[in-house]
Structure 1
Amino acid sequence: MDHQGLRLDGVTIALGPRALIAISHTVAPGEVLTIMGPSGSGKSTLLAYVGGFLDKAFTASGRVLAGELDLTALPPQERHVGILFQDPLLFPHMSVAGNLLFAIPQAVQGRAARESLAESALAGVDLAGLGARDPDTLSGGQKARVALARVLVSAPRALLLDEPFSKLDADLRHQMRELVFAKARASGLPVILVTHDEADAAAAGGTIVRIGA
């Protein structure tokens, strides 16, 4: 997929009378927009709005555009937006490779082609040869890498990061930040990062929008 920027066009989100977010911003391919704020400030609601799964308790308006495509007009499964959460959320009943194969778009035809893509994605996150493993046997850092590989093979239009580094220890957090942002740049993915960690924002580079302070 040819990546284009992600444009937030007059996006506003409120909970009852309380305005949480009002933003217009274009995230270029390979760039990161960081949304910072304390817990409960509503920063994750922006990701939910972009992804198409904002809780009905919130009211929202404005458009999210990938190139000329208005994502807000599409159901969530057609938006093709990749998301990484605090937890890797790997499917426990599937092998590591199975998790990736599940995410590969249907357009990639043939078992050999799909398996090759999964294997190269694992190699790309330094997990070559671990496809047959049960996710439960992996370390926290390895699980985080599988989750990243799974998002990348899904050929997303954009990458949303909902504090994905917050549960890792300091060394792993640094490694995963470097890996995620490098992969996003290499893939030309526009990224929106939600965090309350200044070190995340510093590693991301790019624009920082602070809310709820």
Structure 2
Amino acid sequence: MALTAPAPLRVDTGRPPLVRATLDTPATRNRLDDDMLTALTGALTAAEAAEGAEVFVLDATGDSFCSGIALGEADRDGWRPRLTAVHHLLQRLADSPLVTVAVVDGAATGGGVGLAAACDHVIAGPRASFRMTEVLLGLVPAVILPVVAERTGRHRAFSLALGAQHVSRRTGRRHRPRRPAHRRLPPGTAAAAAAPAGRRPRSRTRTQALPP
């Protein structure tokens, strides 16, 4: 059975119980515009309804995992529905009955950090980096801070946001998350390890890590 999705997203159901959704707009660095948000929300809804689906994986094509919320083409009044849609998507990912996994092997900035943080597991490939850049635009990352804070701890999340600090795969090891951990994998294996078994755990306090 194949799940359909709009053009910004490719959905693969060929490896049950895994459903893989690939952000596929590298020209925009996989930004969260209206089409992408609709596609992601629809793919998650379809995966949750699919018989036998247990794991929902997010990955991306190109050099960026996700460049965050698209703001350039909208005025401030036009941002509100999009920000609401992002908030809804992050809550859906965090509360999904599926195990949610973000495979990050590129830059995650702004809302892209929130997209990864909302998942149960984050697998960081060799090119992974994370940066909340909203403050550089005079904005506060209010939509994504709750899920980031749940993963890193509140004070660490505020520090990362206010300083627009860049976190690489290497530097991220020093800060143990409170949600299931970022998992370090050797080069070339990030996409291959994205199928943890079983339903998502209700406790999010354990830290898991793979050796370098």
Same fold (TM over 0.5): no
Structure 1 or 2: more strand by fraction: 1
Question: What's the TM-score, normalizing by structure 2?
Answer: 0.29
Relative contact order, CA 8 A, sep 6+: which one is greater?
A: 1
Which has the higher Rg, Structure 1 or Structure 2?
1
